[in-house]
Structure 1
Amino acid sequence: MLFTYVIAGWEGTANDARILMETIANPDNDEMRRRGGPRGRKELFNFRHSSLRNVIERKQTSIVIACCALHNFIKIHAEDDKLFHEYENYEDEEGSTSGVELPLTEFNVSYAATREMTEKRDAIANQLWSDNHV
């Protein structure tokens, strides 16, 4: 139950930077090549949000690798760890010992919550725009 090889950050889904680069390379998308900064609150918000998301995605790779290293450290140095003992011989319904399946979590977002998130996003976009144009 030790990780012997870890590759984190490989595509499971396409990230924003790849989509942006492919969009820019497509000659049908001339609007993506224009010069200058964002032209409006929503463009500015989307630009900043995308930049922040890229930073977070890069950090996630390090977190996955750190968790694997921590797992191995605990497994090697804490021989009596009760969670390792509890799951070391776990078999799922098909007889596989590949790991514990976690239940899927459903997110039901109400209309009120959606509206609240939209208002919050718009407030952030307005603040970014006013800070950017002082």
Structure 2
Amino acid sequence: MYVLSGWEGSAHDSKVLSDALARKNGLKVPQGKYYLVDCGFPNRRKFLAPYRGVRYHLQDFAGHGNDPENEKELFNLRHASLRNVIERIFGIFKSRFTIFKSAPPFLFKTQAELVLTCAALHNFLRKECRSDEFPVEPTDESSSSSSVLPNYEDNDHEPIVQTQEQEREDANIWRTNIGSDMWKNANN
């Protein structure tokens, strides 16, 4: 779990992400992996956002007759389901460290350090204590070639520089391919 503490709660998420990526020992996205982001972020390489203006929240799909009607809705449903798993992990963290259930009576700097300390302890417990396991649904990491994000990071050569517009276009094509693959698999 990567943690960047010290930002005020009112800071915009994209500003915090930019800071995390720009730091010397900042957030690194492993090769071939990506992070889910909410619709407050643009869809871009390594940060997969849902479709805007398309049903997203799990309750939007609840009940009979509310199944996804197209690729974009199915993609958003599955994105929301994964995001729900992530939110449950935050719940586990708050349950383990009950001091975070309300605002602690410490200086802001101390609170930021407390978050880092508890995150480090949480990571240690997850790694070293077998009794600390909580159920995680198995994932199918196989994917068709059309839903793989183009790799612009060849370790033998200099990285290819893309404009933000090119990067977003590639990421949107990638997201569309993932949605198409999901739709095909769901309807076969």
- What TM-score do you get using the length of structure 1 for normalisation? 0.43
RCO greater where, 1 or 2, for CA within 8 Å and sep 6 or more? Answer: 1
- What TM-score do you get using the length of structure 2 for normalisation? 0.32
Higher-Rg member (1/2) = 1
Task: Select the structure that is richer in helix.
Answer: 1
